[in-house]
Structure 1
Amino acid sequence: MARSPLALKEERAPLRLWLVPVASVVAGSLVAIGPYVADVPLFPPFGLLMLIGWRLLRPELWSAWMALPLGLLDDLIGGAPLGSAMTIWTVVMLAFDAADLRLLWRDFATDWALATAALAFATSAAWGIALWCGGAGPYWSVMGQWLLSALSFPTIARLCRAIDRWRLGARGRAA
């Protein structure tokens, strides 16, 4: 009987199956501590992009609560007010859960639209939190970050797919 190339191999440790996606999201959050200085926020939130990429690729991988510890790590790494990424990421995951109940089928365009809407919410909410804390500039300054984030989603989705194929031990190229 032929097996799917994406089927789990028995010799793979269960630790690798859940640790690799978590490590990739944390690695995305670690990108924020690189030597990058700008007057306006143009750098996409790579941790959130990786979380969205994994959530849209493998909806069964994590529950919505997984956004809490990952958001906490992002807050601690990025220096944001504690709880901001935890809240924003959890709301994004809950919105994806609600969208899964409403949508009968999804293709890449739908995933990109969902990711773009989630990124618009996340950048606007982060700006609102920064405004509340007294550190926000004008709202138009986050539009570049949102646009760059939305345009980088296809690359992040492809990266998540490649990591997932490696994580599951698939051979050959993607179909």
Structure 2
Amino acid sequence: MKNPVTAIRLPLRPGREYESRFDREPSTLKMLAIPISSVIVASMVTTLPFLTQQPILPPFGFLMLLAWRLMRPGLLPVWSGVPFGLVDDLFSGQPFGCAGLLWSIAMLTIEIIDSRAIWRDHLQDWLIAALLIITVLLGGLWITGMAHAAAHPLVLLPQIVLSILLYPLVVRICARLDSWRLAT
């Protein structure tokens, strides 16, 4: 037997399905929250239980910050390296302020490069990121060496190589998040 009462589905907002998507403003919260939360979540990856005798896990928070800064130059301010670095210090186990200092120096370096360069392509961004990754990881080892006995810099070689090779993947993730961020 058929049910004689049929449900009529009414749209939640009448006429909404026929509205144009053009000329709508994206959400300000979404525009700001996605880059900020992606860098913080990427910094939290270091807390995963991944045990090795040598440092091999790339600094995903720093890679995400570089990807956002090199892909969207005006999105994050220059001073954003300090708070993101301090959040990363909380999760990475580095001395507090180490990443705050090094990430802010990296952001200033990118700002200087942006002010002098006419244009950049993906390979130049990868080279800039590679040099900054090497500098930040070696700088972190040097700052840690002031407080404790530091290892030889060659210990960081696998982490440096893996970080440089994973940078294009992080840029791809960042581009996907950016397209979702800009979608209305």
Q: Which residue of 2 aligns with 1:84?
A: 98
Structure whose alpha-carbon radius of gyration is higher: 2
Q: Is the 8 A contact 1:71 1:89 kept in 2?
A: yes
In structure 1, what is the equivalent of residue 146 of structure 2? 132
Q: Normalising by structure 1, report the TM-score.
A: 0.89
Gaps of at least 5 residues in structure 2 are 1-21
What is the rounded CA distance, in whole Å, between the counterparts of 1:155 and 1:28 in structure 2? 13
What secondary structure does 1:60 align onto? coil
TM-score, normalization: structure 2? 0.85
**Which amino acid is 1:68 matched to?**
V
Alpha-carbon distance between aligned partners in 2 of 1:64 and 1:42, rounded to the nearest angstrom: 28
Cα distance, 1:77 vs structure 2: 1.6
Q: Give aligned pairs, total.
A: 163
Superposition misfits of 4+ residues, deviation over 2 angstroms: none
1:9–1:168 Cα contact (<8 Å) kept: no
Q: Name the structure 2 match of 1:96.
A: 110
2:78 counterpart residue number: 64
Q: Give the AA of the match of 1:27.
A: V
1:74 positional shift: 0.6
Flag structure 1 segments of 5+ consecutive residues without an equivalent: 1-6, 171-175
Q: Secondary structure at the match of 2:151?
A: coil
Tell me: higher relative CO, structure 1 or 2? Use CA pairs within 8 A at least 6 residues apart: 1
2:66 paired with 1:52: yes
| Deviation of the 1:63 alpha carbon | 1.3
Work out the percentage of aligned pairs sharing the same amino acid: 35
Offset of residue 9 of structure 1:
4.1
Counterparts in 2 of 1:105 and 1:79: CA distance versus 1, 3 Å? same
Tell me by how many angstroms 1:68 deviates: 1.1
